[in-house]
């Protein structure tokens, strides 16, 4: 299936003050030159309202949203709040949230469904720890495919949902999965998606790779089978580092 448009997405995590809005503008300028791919930045919630008017064709997203519409959930951000601030999408299920906020795959599925209900596109993250990977490739493929299926929201559809495979051991470590490891995992995830959603939607859903993607390795990763883009942390914080990754797509 060739119809999948690549998405190059940056995840700023808990980085970014108003002083960095110039980088948002600079990245938006690079994005506007590429009508053949999608580019997005998943920003701290506090920057979204200021970043949205600078974004042009680039997607601005949040990094999480709550599964409830509103209520007594101190410190959380709702999907409606993200939408009102000017976001067009959100991440859910990032491994840092699964680890530090103890989010289960059921929580992640509920968040994704709520985000969609409020008109947000969703990038749903999955991935195995080093401990699981060390048990062997087949175990890792099975673990991540199961995590994907358990995290898929009701009504999952490629028109609004993208998957991001991010091995936990490759995030922020400078240790990248090899193209053959990535190809094998993405193939296993493609099979799982086709089984869960049927041929059409299962083949049309994008699967991004994330984990220490940089200007040096992006071309190899992005030309790997079934890799429909990248989710980039550290190297998305400046146009100087993110630009070469966008250019490699």
The minimum distance between CB 32 and ligand PGA, in angstroms, equals 23
- Please count the other Cβ atoms lying within 10 Å of the Cβ belonging to residue 89: 24
User: Is 116 an active-site residue?
Assistant: no
CB 89 within 8 A of CB 61: yes
Per-residue interface string for the shown chain with ligand PGA, residues 212-231, x marking contact by CB under 6 A = xx-----------------x
User: Is 166 an active-site residue?
Assistant: yes
Q: Which of 66, 94, 141, 186 is catalytic?
A: 94
The minimum distance between CB 231 and ligand PGA, in angstroms, equals 5
What DSSP assignment string belongs to 67-103? Answer: SSSSSS-TT---HHHHHHHT--EEEE--HHHHHHS--
Residue 70, judged by CB atoms within 10 A of its CB (0-12, 13-18, 19+), counts as exposed
Which one of residues 210, 227, 229, 237 is an interface residue with ligand PGA (CB under 6 A)?
A: 210
User: Residues 154 to 193: which contact ligand PGA by CB under 6 A?
Assistant: 166, 171-172
Shortest CA distance to 40 belongs to which of 109, 114, 91, 95? 91
Pick between residue 14 and residue 19 the one whose CB is nearest to ligand PGA.
14
Per-residue interface string for the shown chain with ligand PGA, residues 3-42, x marking contact by CB under 6 A = --------x-------------------------------
Pick between residue 62 and residue 234 the one whose CB is nearest to ligand PGA.
234
- Please count the other Cβ atoms lying within 10 Å of the Cβ belonging to residue 187: 14
Which one of residues 61, 93, 211, 229 is an interface residue with ligand PGA (CB under 6 A)?
A: 211
Rounded distance between C-alpha atoms, residue 242 and residue 232, angstroms: 8
The minimum distance between CB 198 and ligand PGA, in angstroms, equals 29
For 7, which DSSP code? E
The minimum distance between CB 74 and ligand PGA, in angstroms, equals 25
Give the H or E element holding residue 10. Answer: strand 7-11
CA angle 230, 231, 234 (to 5 degrees): 120
Footprint of ligand PGA (CB under 6 A): 11, 166, 171-172, 210-213, 231-235
Catalytic residue IDs = 94, 166
């Amino acid at each position: 299936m060739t119809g999948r448009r690549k998405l190059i997405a940056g995840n700023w995590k808990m980085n970014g003050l108003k002083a960095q809005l110039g980088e948002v503008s600079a990245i938006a300028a690079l994005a506007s030159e590429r009508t053949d791919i999608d580019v997005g930045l998943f920003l701290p919630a506090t920057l979204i309202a200021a970043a949205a008017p600078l974004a042009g064709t680039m997607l601005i997203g949040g990094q999480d949203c709550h599964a409830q519409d509103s209520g007594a959930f101190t410190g959380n951000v709702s999907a409606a709040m993200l939408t009102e601030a000017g976001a067009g999408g959100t991440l859910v299920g990032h491994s840092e949230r699964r680890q530090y906020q103890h989010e289960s795959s059921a929580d992640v599925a509920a968040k994704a469904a709520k985000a969609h209900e409020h008109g947000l596109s969703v990038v749903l993250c999955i991935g195995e720890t080093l401990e699981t990977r060390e048990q062997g490739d087949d175990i890792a493929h099975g673990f991540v495919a199961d995590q994907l299926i358990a995290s898929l929201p009701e009504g999952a559809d490629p028109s609004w949902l993208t998957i991001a495979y991010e091995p936990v051991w490759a995030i922020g470590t400078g240790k990248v999965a090899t193209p053959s490891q990535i190809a094998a995992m993405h193939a296993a995830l493609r099979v799982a998606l086709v089984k869960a959603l049927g041929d059409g939607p299962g083949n049309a859903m994008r699967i991004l790779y994330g984990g220490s993607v940089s200007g040096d390795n992006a071309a190899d990763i992005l030309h790997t089978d079934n890799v429909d883009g990248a989710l980039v942390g550290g190297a998305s914080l400046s146009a100087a580092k993110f630009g070469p990754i966008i250019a490699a797509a």
